[in-house]
């Protein structure tokens, strides 16, 4: 690569530049920062969209967990019932950022008896575009407590949430079409 | 692979005169060692942080192999006195390389992922900086790459707070305001017209 | 070192390429290079099992990008 200006130009400009900080972008303090930056640049991150809040809670994990407890199923039994791997169910319950495969969503929706599209709105990468869904998730999360078997209040919370999802019409079209 | 592109002038503030420095493209283990040995202790003395878990040379050497033939970015460095005086990583393609400037929305540009100078060259860290010109040299390298990639000199970057005046006033970039998608740092762009004017500038 | 190749495109593909080159102020080589960088980055993410979404301007709709 050839520089677009010559050294005379550079001398003149540098001579007139103030003694000033010039740092831009990410902070580099050690060699690991350089390597990490290069690795990230090799696989560009999506530009974060301002004003599009992401789900911090894990309503899908909670829905599975509560449904399992209602039906007194272990992770293995539940996974078998909805015909997906044990690993995937365990990951969904453990990792709030994990997005399950479309087939898992489909089978889960069938089991819980809600539209698959409604479940897509509970994924970590679904944009929160509907306050009513947000409120329903919040109410559902608040109603649960991790005791064995469901209490009457928890059962009511789960039923209300499933009812809400069944009737839910808003949200995204993110169904992979 | 690290290769020398040019011998460039750097202003030695101690002597009050220009000296020769080398402009490199790419990176090697020596550069990483220089940053770790020369930069890091000064930064840590100024504001200690927990050392990263993976600061082992085996790891660095392995990582370097993967960085040898980049498709989407370039690394540049300035060396003088056998020390790394500054480094820059620029991105050539992907989501950050679309212009936000009203002059040419979505036109491709070179995005400066980081531009960093050695701590002894930073007036914010030392009362008597060693060299002046590292930022200007690296920035003009990015402009040159932008021209070579047919991006007409267009550059985008997020300035750290202390450097905003340099990008706004000395390089005449357009201040596009705070970017809440990038830690609220101000985003600057050098448009096609501004790049042309910058290169033609006579002090 | 740069290498040269011949690219066979249909009439429609060539029209799109030329229109985008005109719009972006790029040569065909530079445009294909940019397309390759973007394609590779998207493909690598999908290969790792990640998802790529496209959001409408009013943020009301978000669709998953499927690359075949």
Domain count, chain C: 1
Contact C53 A177 (CB under 8 A): no
CB A100, CB A88: distance < 8 Å: yes
Domain count, chain B: 1
Domain count, chain A: 1
Query: Domain of C34?
Result: 11-64
Probe site for chain B from C1, C19, C26, C31 (most B CB atoms < 10 A): C26
A98 burial level (CB within 10 Å; 0-12, 13-18, 19+) = middle
* A123: its two tokens: 């994924």
- Nearest Cα residue in chain A from C41: A43
**What is the structure's pLDDT at A96?**
75
Contacts of B93 in chain C (CB under 8 A): 33-34, 36-38, 41
Residue A147 maps to a domain: yes
Query: Domain of B177?
Result: 3-200
Give me the mean pLDDT over the B174-196 stretch. 95
CATH number at residue A127: 1.10.260
3-state class of C45 per DSSP? helix
Q: Give the other-Cβ count within 10 Å of B128's Cβ.
A: 9
CB B188, CB B173: distance < 8 Å: yes
Contacts of A52 in chain C (CB under 8 A): 55, 59
| Residues contacting residue C55 through CB under 8 Å, at least 6 positions apart | A49, A52, A127, C61, C62
* A90: its two tokens: 């365990």
Residue A108 maps to a domain: yes
Q: Give the strand pairing for B110-117 and B155-159.
A: parallel
Probe site for chain C from A43, A53, A98, A117 (most C CB atoms < 10 A): A43
Q: What is the pLDDT of residues B8-57, one digit of tens each?
A: 999 999 999 999 999 999 988 888 888 988 998 898 888 776 555 445 55
Residue A24 maps to a domain: no
Helix-helix angle A59-70:A86-94, to 10 degrees = 120
How far is residue B111's CA from residue C55's CA, in Å, rounded to a whole number?
Answer: 23
Residue A159 maps to a domain: yes
Nearest to A19 among B33, B129, B160 (CB): B129
Under-70 pLDDT residues of chain A: 44-57, 125-131, 143-148, 169-177
C63 touches chain B (CB under 8 A): no
CATH number at residue B160: 3.40.630.30
Q: What is the pLDDT of residues C6-31, one digit of tens each?
A: 989 999 999 999 999 999 999 999 99
* A117: its two tokens: 């599209």
CA distances from A165 to A109, B30, B81 (A): 10, 58, 67
In sequence order, which ranges of chain C are alpha helices (DSSP H)?
11-24, 28-47
Instruction: DSSP for A100-167, please give it.
Output: PPHHHHHHHHHHHTS-HHHHHTTSTTS----HHHHHHHHHHHHH----SS--HHHHHHHHHHHHHHHH
Residue A15 maps to a domain: no
CA angle, A25 then B193 then B154, to 5°: 30
Residue A30 maps to a domain: no
Can you give the length of chain A in residues?
Answer: 177
Q: Give the other-Cβ count within 10 Å of A159's Cβ.
A: 12
**Picking from A89-98, B98-107, B113-122, which range would have the lowest pLDDT averaged per residue?**
A89-98
How far is residue A61's CA from residue A68's CA, in Å, rounded to a whole number?
Answer: 11
* Complex confidence, ipTM: 0.92
β-bridge partners, B186: B159, B178
Handedness of CA C40, C45, C49, C53 (dihedral sign): negative
Contacts of C45 in chain A (CB under 8 A): 43
Query: Domain of A144?
Result: 59-167
How far is residue A39's CA from residue B188's CA, in Å, rounded to a whole number?
Answer: 24
* B45: its two tokens: 């003395």
H or E element at residue B137: helix B134-148
Residue C51 maps to a domain: yes
φ, ψ (nearest 5 deg) of residue B45:
-70, -35
Residue A25 maps to a domain: no
Q: Closest Cα partner for A32 from B57, B173, B98?
A: B57
Contact B152 C36 (CB under 8 A): no
């Amino acid at each position: 690569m050839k520089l677009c200006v010559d050294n005379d130009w550079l001398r003149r400009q540098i001579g007139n530049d103030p003694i000033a900080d010039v740092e831009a972008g990410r902070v580099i303090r050690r060699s690991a920062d350089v390597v990490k930056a290069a690795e990230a640049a090799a696989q560009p991150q999506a530009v974060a969209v301002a004003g599009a809040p992401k789900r911090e809670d894990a309503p899908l994990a909670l829905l599975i967990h509560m449904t399992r407890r209602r039906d007194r199923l272990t992770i293995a039994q539940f996974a078998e019932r909805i015909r997906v791997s044990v690993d995937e169910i365990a990951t969904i319950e453990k990792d709030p950022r994990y997005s399950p495969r479309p087939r898992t969503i489909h089978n889960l929706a069938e089991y819980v008896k809600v539209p698959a599209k409604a479940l897509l709105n509970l994924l970590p990468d679904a944009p929160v575009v509907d306050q009513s869904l947000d409120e329903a998730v919040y109410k559902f999360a608040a109603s649960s407590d991790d005791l064995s078997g469901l209490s009457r209040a928890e059962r009511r919370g789960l039923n209300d949430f499933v009812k809400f999802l069944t009737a839910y019409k808003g949200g995204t079209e993110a169904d992979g079409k | 692979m690290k290769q020398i592109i040019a011998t460039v002038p750097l202003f030695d503030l101690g002597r009050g005169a220009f000296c020769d420095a080398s402009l490199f493209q790419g990176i090697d283990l020596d550069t990483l060692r220089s940053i770790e040995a020369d930069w890091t202790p000064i930064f840590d003395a100024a504001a200690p942080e927990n050392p990263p878990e993976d600061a082992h040379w085996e790891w660095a050497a392995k990582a370097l192999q993967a960085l040898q033939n980049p498709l989407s970015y370039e690394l540049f460095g300035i060396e003088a006195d056998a020390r790394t005086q500054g480094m820059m990583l620029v991105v050539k393609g992907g989501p950050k390389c679309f212009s936000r400037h009203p002059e040419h929305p979505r036109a491709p540009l070179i995005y400066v992922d980081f531009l960093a100078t050695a701590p002894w060259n930073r007036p914010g860290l030392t009362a008597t900086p060693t060299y002046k010109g590292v930022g200007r040299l690296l920035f003009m390298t990015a402009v040159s790459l932008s021209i070579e990639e047919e991006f007409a000199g267009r550059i985008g970057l997020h300035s750290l707070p202390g450097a905003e005046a340099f990008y706004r006033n000395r390089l005449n970039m357009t201040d596009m305001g705070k970017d809440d998608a990038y830690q609220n740092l101000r985003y600057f762009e050098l448009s096609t017209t501004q790049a042309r004017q910058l290169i033609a500038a006579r002090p | 070192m740069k290498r040269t190749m011949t690219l066979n495109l249909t009439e429609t593909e060539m029209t799109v390429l030329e229109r985008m080159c005109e719009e972006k102020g790029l040569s065909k080589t530079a445009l294909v290079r940019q397309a390759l960088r973007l394609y590779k980055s998207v493909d690598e993410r999908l290969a790792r099992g990640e998802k790529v979404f496209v959001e409408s301007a009013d943020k009301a709709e978000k669709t998953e990008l499927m690359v075949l």
